[in-house]
Amino acid sequence: MICDVFTDRPLAGNQLAVFTDARLVPEHLLQPIAREMNFSETVFVYPALKGGHARIRIFTPFNELPFAGHPVLGSAFVLAAPLQLPTVVLETGLGLVPVVLERDGPRITFGRMSQPLPTVSAEPAAAAIVAALGGVKPVLPVERYVNGPTHVLVTVGSTDEVAKLAPDLAALARATPAGVSCFAGSGRSYKTRMFAPGHGIAEDPATGSAAGPLACHLVRHGLLQPGQEIQITQGVEMGRPSTLFARAGGTRERIESVEVGGCAVTVARGEFRLQ
């Protein structure tokens, strides 16, 4: 199955391939298949082992990830369609991730995942990252969030500045292997772009694993109240507009929950012939 995630219409959002029964796929072919798909991520689904409804493995074209946002949400939409369950629990490399689903009749209209709590630290390569972005002037501290993937959050002055970013991708890859999420906004509306050349991804159209840390970042620095939800626009400059929703609960000093939501649509079904 191929679906577009963090969008309610085909050919937008972030592409995802989901192999709904990977039991017969040889282990040594998982990474080459993900490279063949050449999406940000490809998911392979297996029977549950630890109390979830299914176990998933997530691969970029270059490596396996313990957790990522749009693969979890997209997989929940794909797998829950025939199950008619209000919540689907997926087993990831970081443990169980529940996804609460909303429906209009049989059609799933929205999903909201509870993400692993990120760890936060100062970014030691902040100066090199800022230089590679074109010398932007960060509004908030440049910090690193790890919730499986590693994301560096850079807050710039305006949404126009985000739209005009033209980073030196080679320099950015040298500065950090992490994804670099640049954002701006106010109130409950934010715009972001995410660059990950260190992972072979020049720009990502929708990054669910960075959306949760963005909400955490805003709460921690007093720009958002705990529990308030923000709407994040991403992917516009790539021609794949995406909409993500995120909120962080707890307090400024202690984040206790992170939730990220959005829509997804299935756009194709097919089969691979490997012999």
**Catalytic (active-site) positions:** 41
pLDDT of residue 176: 97
CATH number at residue 235: 3.10.310.10
The per-residue DSSP string of 88-139 comes to EEEEETTEEEEEEEEEETTEEEEEEEEPPPPEEEE-TTHHHHHHHTTS---S
The reply to whether 50 and 84 lie within a common domain is yes
Structural domain total, the chain: 2
**CA distance linking residue 240 with residue 140, whole number of Å:** 28
242 within some domain: yes
Mean pLDDT by 10 residues, the chain (275 residues): 98 98 96 96 97 97 95 97 88 98 93 98 98 96 97 98 98 97 97 94 96 98 98 98 98 98 97 87
273 within some domain: no
pLDDT of residue 246: 98
**CA distance linking residue 193 with residue 162, whole number of Å:** 7
Best CA proximity match to 78, nearest among 13, 9, 12, 17: 17
The reply to whether 108 and 40 lie within a common domain is yes
The reply to whether 168 and 225 lie within a common domain is yes
pLDDT of residue 73: 98
pLDDT of residue 183: 98
| Domain of 212, in residue numbers | 119-261
275 within some domain: no
The reply to whether 240 and 138 lie within a common domain is yes
Q: Which two tokens stand for residue 192?
A: 């972001």
pLDDT of residue 274: 85
pLDDT of residue 106: 86
**CA distance linking residue 237 with residue 234, whole number of Å:** 8
154 contacts 130 by C-beta, under 8 angstroms:
yes
Q: Which two tokens stand for residue 91?
A: 């087993």
The reply to whether 61 and 91 lie within a common domain is yes
pLDDT of residue 199: 85
